[in-house]
Amino acid sequence: MANRWSDQMYDHKIDVVRGPAPQHRLEYFAPAAEDASYLRGSVISADDTGALRKGCPAGTTGNRPMTMFAIQGTDDLDVYTDFYNTGVAVPSAIVATGGFEIATTEFDIATYKVNDLLTVDDATGKVKKAAVDAYGTVPIIGICSVATDGTAVTNAIGVPTFSQYGKPLLTFWTVFYPAAGA
């Protein structure tokens, strides 16, 4: 596990830019898998038991993990428990049903254009641009809604691409197209 005291809460974040109000959002609540470690804003999915883990594998015929985005990381104080805390903390995630536009700090820095298909790096849980021929071979988890290169503070049409704390953000519409074959 990462040192939970070494970063600020804005170093790893997810913001719902547009979508239903919090009381109407589709969220998934479950414990993190025993060996899971992921950051707030990472792509996660439920394993066969329902526990949350980093990434979203292609799955098998008839069983495709659903893409979700972590509202809390496994080391966040509202999830982490130790002998100083009592009770069981349960992380939550935004389910990629297509009803949200979100911004996250957890993405591979690259040049993204509006309408680029997005997938996930299962090793890191970061959003990344899907390869040209990726549709059908990997889950598509989103479609880029704000062009960014991860270095410019605003894009070509003046839309901010960094958080107020100077962290690069990738903004996209959530979708879920499972891999066609695995």
Mean pLDDT of 94-103: 90
Closest to 25 in 3D by CA, of 61, 63, 69? 69
40-74 pLDDT, tens digit each = 899 999 999 999 999 998 888 888 899 999 998 88
Residue 77 in this model has a pLDDT that exceeds 80: no
User: Which pLDDT score is estimated for 104?
Assistant: 93
User: Which pLDDT score is estimated for 10?
Assistant: 60
Model pTM greater than 0.85? no
Mean pLDDT of 155-167: 87
